[in-house]
């Protein structure tokens, strides 16, 4: 559950601890009234755990439910005759080759939701003796990870909220290893929760100024944070980012959060941070505009990743560079047909003011290259509706000419249930302008690709990946380890990739 906070202290409180998070103990069963037992296909329930009468009841209940221990299947026994438990839930894990991190986190989220619906407050969970592709300690830790990710919700505007937290007591083969494995995942969770809360917050409160304040809170974890305002952006020649923010009250900001855990060349994570996207003079229509508070989810994801790395005290050098602006309509806003000059030196004809994300990213990418000389640059953005039409919201779209980076990020996505699907680059000829070096939308071709090809002009010689997370940033239904609202998509993907391969 999320926190209740004053709207006058949004930024600071968004960085606070997950107050109502599920509570995990890996030191054995507690004698709670609810017991969860996990079972793989072909495995029998531990014969010594229940009396003969309870075992007979469980077998009858399993037969009645046609329980086959397939992954995610469950059956329950209420008020067993000869047991101290009031409820026994048996959860199927599937075949042993299905016991991986992604499946366990998803299962943890779904089972947590069931237990919340039963209003369970304390739960015993038996994980002893279960082995799969990953060790028993990691299996239990990933289950807990999924449960806590599902537990998070953004309910700060509700008058009454319920504390539905669950205290879990695990029986595992190695308590110390399990606790350590979950501790590492808990750091990632805090980065996800930050990204989710920033994304879920309403646009009138989560302005570029408030986002910058939220980023500043990371200084307590050893992160160096720099914020550049409109005047500084103009001085640096960042006309694209400054131009997009010109129509709003606060103007644009460039927010930089640098965690230097090593002396290696940094990995630069560049995030699109449109705190509200009206479309500008190419104004949006229809109900989708209400979701445009999430158009800064890319910036939220890269900031959340930096927080996760700092809390993990990871031996990595990671800098997040976030172009922040509200794309609004006013007498000062850019108009269709205007020409903006980027810091790269390229001029851009603004054919459509609703293609603003690539404009803020162009200057942010230039800044990341110019000031940090990164080894690798990854930009993350809710960039195009074309991406959603191409691959939906179960995948993000990845674009790069670097085969190794595509392979690494694809593998990382599978581990954390944030999968990516590669789409092609190309169609640069569709971006030609009669009066400028480029125009900001393609005159044909696939929209997600022409947008990525626009960004490619600003990658220079740096190894570069573009990840389009349009459709992934907000969830309208809870599922697996994701609750309704901001998803924090990208934090687990990037964290897994950075920690395992860099």
Q: Give the integer Cα–Cα distance in Å for 342 and 356.
A: 13
| Of 225, 306, 208, residue with least CA distance to 261 | 306
Beta partners for 463?
A: 376
Strand bridging mode 463-468 / 396-399: antiparallel
CB 171 within 8 A of CB 124: yes
Q: Give the integer Cα–Cα distance in Å for 337 and 281.
A: 11
DSSP annotation of 134 reads S
CB 341 within 8 A of CB 347: yes
Q: Give the integer Cα–Cα distance in Å for 259 and 263.
A: 11
Q: Which is catalytic among the residues 253, 358, 387, 492?
A: 358
Q: Is position 60 annotated as part of the catalytic site?
A: no
Dihedral Cα 487, 491, 492, 498, nearest 10 deg = 170
DSSP annotation of 244 reads H
End-to-end CA distance of the chain: 33
Token pair 């927010």 is found at: 255
CB 379 within 8 A of CB 369: no
Q: What φ, ψ does residue 75 adopt, rounded to 5°?
A: -145, 160
State the DSSP H helix or E strand holding residue 227, giving kind and residue range, or none if neither: strand 224-228
Q: Is position 196 annotated as part of the catalytic site?
A: no
Q: Give the integer Cα–Cα distance in Å for 347 and 500.
A: 39
Q: Which is catalytic among the residues 41, 284, 428, 463?
A: 284
Beta partners for 398?
A: 422, 467
Query: How many of the other CB atoms lie within 10 Å of CB of 377?
Result: 25
Catalytic residues, which ones? 284, 358
């Amino acid at each position: 559950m999320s926190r209740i906070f004053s709207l006058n202290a949004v930024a600071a409180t968004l960085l606070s601890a997950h107050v109502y998070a599920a509570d995990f103990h890996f030191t054995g069963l507690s004698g709670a009234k609810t017991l969860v037992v996990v079972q793989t296909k072909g495995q029998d329930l531990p014969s010594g755990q229940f009396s003969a009468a309870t075992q007979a009841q469980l077998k009858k209940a399993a037969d009645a439910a046609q329980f086959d221990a397939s992954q995610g299947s469950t059956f329950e026994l209420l008020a067993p005759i000869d047991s101290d438990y009031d409820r026994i839930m048996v959860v199927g894990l599937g075949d042993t080759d299905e016991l991986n991190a992604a499946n366990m986190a998803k299962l943890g989220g779904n089972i947590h939701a069931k237990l919340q619906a039963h209003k369970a407050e304390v739960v015993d969970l038996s994980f002893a003796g279960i082995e799969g592709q990953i060790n028993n300690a990691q299996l239990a830790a990933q289950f807990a990870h999924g449960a806590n990710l599902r537990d998070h919700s953004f309910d700060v505007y509700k008058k009454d909220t319920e504390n539905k937290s669950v205290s879990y007591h695990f029986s595992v083969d190695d308590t110390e290893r399990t606790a350590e494995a979950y501790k590492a995942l808990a750091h990632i969770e805090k980065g996800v929760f930050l990204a989710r809360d920033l994304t879920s917050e309403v646009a009138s409160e989560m302005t570029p100024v408030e986002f910058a304040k939220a980023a500043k809170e990371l200084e307590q974890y050893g992160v160096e944070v720099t914020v550049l305002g409109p005047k500084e952006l103009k001085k640096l020649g960042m006309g694209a980012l400054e131009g997009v923010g010109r129509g709003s009250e606060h103007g644009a900001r460039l927010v930089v959060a640098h965690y230097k855990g090593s002396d290696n060349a940094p990995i630069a994570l560049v995030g699109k941070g449109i705190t509200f996207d009206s479309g500008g003079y190419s104004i949006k229509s229809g109900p989708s505009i209400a979701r445009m508070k999430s158009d800064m989810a890319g910036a939220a994801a890269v900031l959340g990743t930096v927080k996760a790395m700092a809390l993990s005290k990871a031996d990595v050098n990671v800098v997040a560079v976030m172009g922040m602006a509200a794309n609004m309509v006013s007498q000062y806003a850019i108009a269709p047909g205007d020409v903006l000059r980027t810091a790269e030196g390229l001029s851009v004809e603004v054919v459509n003011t609703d293609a603003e994300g690539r404009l803020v990213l162009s200057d942010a990418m230039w800044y990341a290259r110019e000031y940090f000389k990164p080894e690798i640059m990854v930009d993350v953005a809710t960039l195009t509706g074309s991406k959603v039409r191409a691959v939906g919201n179960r995948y993000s779209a990845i674009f790069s000419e670097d085969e190794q980076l595509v392979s690494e990020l694809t593998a990382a996505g599978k581990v954390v249930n944030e999968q990516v699907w590669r789409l092609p680059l190309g169609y640069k000829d569709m971006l030609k302008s009669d009066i400028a070096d480029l125009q900001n939308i393609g005159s044909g071709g696939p929209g997600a690709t022409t947008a990525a090809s626009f960004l490619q002009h600003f990658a220079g010689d740096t190894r570069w990946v573009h990840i389009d997370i349009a459709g992934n940033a907000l969830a309208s239904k809870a599922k697996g380890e994701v609750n309704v609202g901001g998803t924090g998509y990208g934090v687990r993907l990037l964290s897994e990739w950075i920690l395992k391969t860099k």
